[in-house]
Structure 1
Amino acid sequence: MEPRISAHSLHSFPKPIRKNVNPIQTKPFNHLLKNEIYNTVQLKVSKHAKHRMDTRGIEFSPEKWLTIQEKVKEAKQKGVKDSLVITNNAALVVSVQNDTVITVLNRDEAQSQIFTNINGTILID
């Protein structure tokens, strides 16, 4: 037997073309994703909280509701998990983690209550 060495030519793949991208103008995907999530998440109202609002006649103007949502988003960015939101006429317990209003009380009821498991408070005039 004859030992033969055979040579095979290896084909190389074409090198990818890199575009010059200015790194200052690009943002990491993580940042873009978080930004998109924060802009699309809306505060939900639990069935219990909705019932309390209806029975107590508590209503929020669209402007006030938008302010509450924005402040809850800010609290979420700061690491708050459960928050007490106090407005002129109501107090809301909000699960910031789940973007959900858990319960609502009018201000008179809220004055005599003790709120537990809250790690942030939002005051809105």
Structure 2
Amino acid sequence: MDPRIHSLQSHPPLSISSTKRTPAKNGNASFNSVLQQELSEIKISKHAKLRMKERNLYISETEWVKMEERIREAKQKGVTDSLILMKDKALVVSTKNNTVITAMNKQEAKSQIFTNINGTIVMED
């Protein structure tokens, strides 16, 4: 057999997993709205999950929604890594990746020096 000719391997067809999407009210979501919805979800790193569990930190659904809005605003202003100060906790978030990097209670945050951030979001209400 000619060394330039390679036998093709059979691969199973790609399967596309279905994800929960909320259709637009008219039934036809625009590409941009679907893209924004997919990009807006905040993820939590393994490290942050561990810290939240160790420190007994809880973030309510309304706090997540507000945080998501504020992260979107910060991203529009060019912020890539942010410190989010809440009433009783502080989070370091990669706004570029929509990922919570670490979390701590407010007392702990007072004794920290935060580096490698280029924006702060204050959500103390």
**TM-score normalised by length of structure 1:** 0.70
- The alignment covers a number of residue pairs equal to 94
> Does 2:116 correspond to 1:112?
no
Provide the secondary structure at the position in 1 that maps to 2:114.
coil
Deviation string 1:76-97 (CA, Å, 9 cap, x unpaired) is 1111000000000110000111
From 30, 35, 45, the equivalent of 1:37 is: 35
What's the counterpart of residue 4 of structure 2? none
Q: CA deviation at 1:38?
A: 2.8
> Does 2:56 correspond to 1:63?
no
Shift in alpha-carbon separation, 1:45–1:96, aligned structure 2, 3 A: same
Q: Distance in 2 between matches of 1:73 and 1:38?
A: 10
**TM-score normalised by length of structure 2:** 0.70
What's the counterpart of residue 23 of structure 2? none
Q: Distance in 2 between matches of 1:34 and 1:99?
A: 18
What's the counterpart of residue 15 of structure 2? none
Native 8 Å contact 1:38 1:73 kept in 2: no
One-letter code aligned to 1:65? W
Say which one has the larger Rg.
1
Deviation string 1:6-48 (CA, Å, 9 cap, x unpaired) is xxxxxxxxxxxxxxxxxxxxxxxxxx75554333320100000
Q: Distance in 1 between matches of 2:67 and 2:41?
A: 10
Deviation string 1:78-125 (CA, Å, 9 cap, x unpaired) is 110000000001100001111100000100000010000110000002
Taking only aligned residues, the RMSD between alpha carbons, in angstroms, comes to 1.4
Q: Distance in 1 between matches of 2:91 and 2:97?
A: 14
One-letter code aligned to 2:51? R
Question: Which blocks of at least 5 consecutive residues in structure 1 are unaligned?
Answer: 1-31
Q: Percent identity?
A: 49
Q: CA deviation at 1:65?
A: 1.0
